[in-house]
Amino acid sequence: MIVEIIDHRLVQAQQLSSENCDERPSGEVISLIVVHGISLPAGHFGTPYVEQLFCNRLDCDEHTDFADLVELKVSSHLFIRRSGEVLQFVPFDKRAWHAGVSSYNGRERCNDFAIGIELEGLDWRPYQQVQYQVLAEVCFALCQHSEIPDEAIVGHSDIAPGRKTDPGPSFVWQKLNGLIQELKGA
């Protein structure tokens, strides 16, 4: 897949609109990519619930796992399904609400300067090869587009330690980094 970004949107992604975003602070430069892991309910893949959550359409009475999500307003820029399909909820120039209370290199409020990418998965279940490939291609394109350094691709657990664990121990950072390096050499 050749990744193309036009008007702050990934051309290859299915575009869905989330209201859970706002303007970044004036003059803020995108300088971080945060990788997350999510499945709703936990361990169930291919459901419509993540999209419903990010678009404020989730019926929290539909499953007991959703009890903590009542009135929660969250989003992410991208969601990469286990099949490799990509959905975009928030344009890259807007602030998505994915990081929560967070800090990176001493800077608080990571949502202000980060792009959030959700992977359909669980901390303890291996992610799919196609997810790594798509994630690498997207990260490579975003790094070129926004001049994000390679070392500024981190997990949610890195910016919210003790509060968040995703993408978890099953995520193989060396695999992602190797694929990004291959793309640089291509």
- Is 151 assigned a catalytic role? no
Q: Which among 130, 119, 139 is positioned nearest to 83, based on CA atoms? A: 130
Among 118, 120, 137, 151, the active-site one is: 118
Residues acting as catalytic residues: 118
